Amino acid sequence: MRLHDGRVIHFPAIMGVLNVTPDSFSDGGRYLDPERAIEHALEMQEQGADIIDIGGESTRPVGARSVPVDEELRRLVPVLRGLARRLHVPVSIDTRKAQVARMAIEHGAAIINDVTALSYDPQMARLAAETGSAVVLMHMRGSPETHMRFARYRNVVIAVTGYLAARAKYAIRAGISPSRIIIDPGIGFAKTARHNLALLNALPVLCRLGYPVLVGTSRKSFIRRIAGGTPREIEFGTAAADALAVAAGASIVRVHDPGAARAAVRMAAAMRVNDGK
């Protein structure tokens, strides 16, 4: 995918997660200090991250608190400033607020990762169109504060595919280039473990919409439940899910541990290319 600044992301790509938050579910508080956050972003780049996804507001399933714009900016600005000249890989900004996304773009971010698929802030689509930013459109129901109340579907695959097709249409109507749209089934957002597994199995269906698919399984509770809850089990479980996602057609995996993901993604990508057909 060619970004508006001319840089190219080669798929399958690894998106490393940087949560500059006190309350993220797996690493809350670890990178609230700007120096530590900057160091961790550079470390993830070193480990093979192709994109660094920076967020200042947690979306975890239970008890995520909405963060005022000022606070989100206060967390993010020093980190984005500190990274501006030192990071070579593109930055994506994980926010649902246009004011935050605008500030990040001014500091060089090229991708807007919006867990509400441009539905929370009416200014977001226009901002993406005007700046030529790429967008990640993620499926969720309700809001980051309430989404687990809405984990009921007649057919989760049909619901998610239909929603993402509609949001992509909305984005294009707003002036966003189809070549800069990424879709994401929103693993763990208004979804039970069964829903997550059904969606991971149905990635080829999502891929047929014609947009690169991003998948974020990293350290989420269904991985803990299935693979086990020790740090090693969670890491191996995540790497296995990443490999299978790439084998099924995913273009980007969003992970906390790019080193582990890189090995898994390389194996899956090699098997996808050399499938004997």
Chain residues in the site for ligand HH2 (CB under 6 A): 17, 19, 21, 24-26, 55, 58-60, 94, 113, 115, 136, 138, 184, 186-187, 214, 216, 254
Residue 166, token pair as written in the block: 């509609």
Whichever of 85 and 251 has its CB closer to ligand HH2, that residue is 251
Q: Which is nearer to ligand HH2, 19 or 277 (CB)?
A: 19
Give start and end residues of each alpha helix (H) in the chain.
34-47, 69-83, 98-106, 124-131, 156-173, 193-201, 203-207, 221-227, 231-247, 258-273
Which of 102, 167, 254, 262 is labelled catalytic?
A: 254
Is residue 254 annotated as part of the catalytic site, yes or no? yes
Query: What helix, strand, coil percent values describe the chain, rounded to 5?
Result: 45, 15, 40
Task: Name which of 72 and 184 has its Cβ closer to ligand HH2.
Answer: 184
Q: Supply the minimum distance, in Å, between the C-beta of residue 21 and ligand HH2.
A: 5
Catalytic-residue membership of 224: no
- Residues with Cβ within 8 Å of 34's Cβ and at least 6 positions away in sequence, in order, are 20, 78, 79, 82
**Prior bond of 12 cis (ω within 30°):** yes
Task: Kindly name the residue from 96, 141, 219, 220 that is annotated as catalytic.
Answer: 220
Catalytic residues, which ones?
220, 254
